[in-house]
Amino acid sequence: MTGFWASCLFRIVVLVALLTGAARASEDDARLALVIGNASYGSVSALDNPVNDAQMISQTLQGLGFSVTMAVDLGQTKMKRAIAQFGRDLRAAGSEATGLFYYAGHGVQSFGNNYLLPVDVALADAADLDLMAVEAQTVLRQMASARNRTNLVILDACRNNPFENVPELNESGLAEMKAPTGTFLAYATAPGGVALDGQGENSPFTQAVVEQIVVPGQPIEQAFKEVRRAVLAQSGGQQTPWDTSSLVSDFMFVEAPESPILTVAETEELQLWRSVRSARDPVQLMLFLRGYPDGSFADEARRLLADVMAEELSVGSAAPKETTSAPAAPDATETALFKAAQEDGSLAGYEAYLQSYPTGTYAEIATTEIAALQAGQSTDPVGEGVENDTAVATPEPEAVPRHKEAGPVTFVSPLESDLETISGRSLAELIEQTPLFPPVEGLPESYWKTQTCSSCHQWTQERLCTQANTYLSLNMQRSLSKQHPFGGVMKRSLKSWAAGGCQ
């Protein structure tokens, strides 16, 4: 990528960050930066990328609300003047200001001290290093003198040693410095290591820094952790960026965008989804999708349902059916809470039950009632959102199903229905049958085609009776009107069975 197009790309990225309201600098929260890129050295090896790096990071910082002073190819005098002026500007900005110093170029260490090399450096003896170079500690002293809240130092200066002919300067890279309170120090590579100048137009380290500091809502510590991962991957593990911190306040280059204000309906959907998601119950997930087939969490719900069903099918195929223990009957507290919700008939009542018993005996019914209340439906005999109406489009007659000899409905008595799949079978047989159509639109056949109602609901006769009794309530007409994979006759049969004492 050419420098022109790279510049355009990062301008776009920064513009997006600005449009999200991420960069919010003000006079009381000023951001100041000094950026130096030294490449055209006279007495030591020249470098390819520091000027490009300085330009790229300057453009990015400007977009993030920094007032940037950029200078390239500075000699020692101009370099020291720029650092001194930066210190004065930072002191004038106030205690809430953020200062950032970036340097790309040659850097060396001697006796544990780090030195940044101006382009006019000429060294024959290591003893002259402090006379010819700029000690990195000078920058830290200037920033610390401002007593401001946050200071950041980024050094892409750990390239190869340019003074190979000076015996006393045989240590590679930079030494780790102690950061004054409120300072974050970032190095292109670990102490004593050598950083890559890069094969492209920018160094791998600075490229990664620019990509991460524009990420909204990312703390600086996390940003440079991501920088480290990126450079390690690009260098094949040869270069490990390093950082050290004495920050006492949180800092993000880009603040997280403000959360949108949810409507009442969106809030209710979110609360129900959180309950269903934590329960990981396939029935609740199916019912949630019935209530919100096009909701904000529908795609996530379908993926979770597929995962849960796959887990259950895997467990079911590995364990013999006889080893499955019957679910425990609901305790008195759960039953009382559900009955209170029925008597109240409100959304809040059913949600209160689900919050206390997200996987309880009545969870499916409570979820159905919530979906009906939210959809504003009453007693549509077909039910909302039928996924496949080829088998159940014609409403079942409202008459209570009968034994073929006009006796009461029992658990084992055959039912009468216009549906061939239902007619002549008992409740005991039906719960062991495969549904006529998928309970959730788009659910793969492998998840439901060979399954039974009892395997999904964990039904026993006792548990089924508990659910059937809920249909005796006048407040449960919405549940009776909800479509069932065996048609409306199934729920009305359960109601009749419960009315006869679940015999």
Query: Of the candidates 195, 123, 122, which has an alpha carbon nearest to the alpha carbon of residue 155?
Result: 195
Q: Over the stretch 24-37, which tens digit does the pLDDT of each residue have?
A: 444 458 999 999 99
Phi-psi region of 413 (alpha: psi -120 to 50; beta: other; left: phi over 0): beta
Kindly tell me if the per-residue pLDDT of 111 is higher than 90: no
Q: What average pLDDT does this structure show over 236-245?
A: 91
Give the side-chain half-sphere CA count within 13 A for 141: 8
Burial class (CB in 10 A: 0-12, 13-18, 19+), 107: buried
Kindly tell me if the per-residue pLDDT of 159 is higher than 70: no
Q: What is the pLDDT of residue 204?
A: 92
Q: Over the stretch 320-334, which tens digit does the pLDDT of each residue have?
A: 444 444 455 667 777
Q: How far apart are the first and last CA of the chain?
A: 78
Burial class (CB in 10 A: 0-12, 13-18, 19+), 407: exposed
Query: Of the candidates 132, 148, 234, 238, which has an alpha carbon nearest to the alpha carbon of residue 184?
Result: 148
Rounded Cα distance between 156 and 50, Å, is: 8
**248, 180 in Cβ contact below 8 A?**
no
Place of tokens 């480290």: 228
User: Cα angle vertex 190, ends 44, 14, to 5°?
Assistant: 85
Rounded Cα distance between 132 and 43, Å, is: 12
Place of tokens 């409740």: 427
Between the alpha carbon of residue 184 and those of residues 149, 154, 179, 370, 492, the distances in Å are: 11, 8, 7, 51, 69
Give the side-chain half-sphere CA count within 13 A for 17: 29
Kindly tell me if the per-residue pLDDT of 377 is higher than 50: no
Q: Over the stretch 253-281, which tens digit does the pLDDT of each residue have?
A: 999 887 677 788 888 888 888 888 878 88
Rounded Cα distance between 429 and 412, Å, is: 8
What angle, 0 to 180 degrees and rounded to 10, lies between the N-to-C axes of helices 298-318 and 282-291? 160
User: What is the reported pTM?
Assistant: 0.51
Six-digit token string for 423: 């007619």
**132, 76 in Cβ contact below 8 A?**
yes
Query: Of the candidates 283, 272, 482, which has an alpha carbon nearest to the alpha carbon of residue 372?
Result: 482
Most confident of 83-87, 120-124, 497-501: 83-87
Q: Which of 261-270, 331-340, 411-420 has the lowest mean pLDDT?
A: 331-340
User: Cα angle vertex 377, ends 375, 477, to 5°?
Assistant: 125
Rounded Cα distance between 447 and 298, Å, is: 18
Q: Over the stretch 202-234, which tens digit does the pLDDT of each residue have?
A: 999 999 999 999 999 999 999 999 999 999 998
Rounded Cα distance between 90 and 396, Å, is: 80
Mean of the per-residue pLDDT values of the chain:
77
Kindly tell me if the per-residue pLDDT of 64 is higher than 80: yes
**172, 187 in Cβ contact below 8 A?**
no
In the chain, what is the greatest distance between 2 CA atoms, to the nearest angstrom?
114
**116, 107 in Cβ contact below 8 A?**
yes
Q: What average pLDDT does this structure show over 296-315?
A: 78
**327, 463 in Cβ contact below 8 A?**
yes
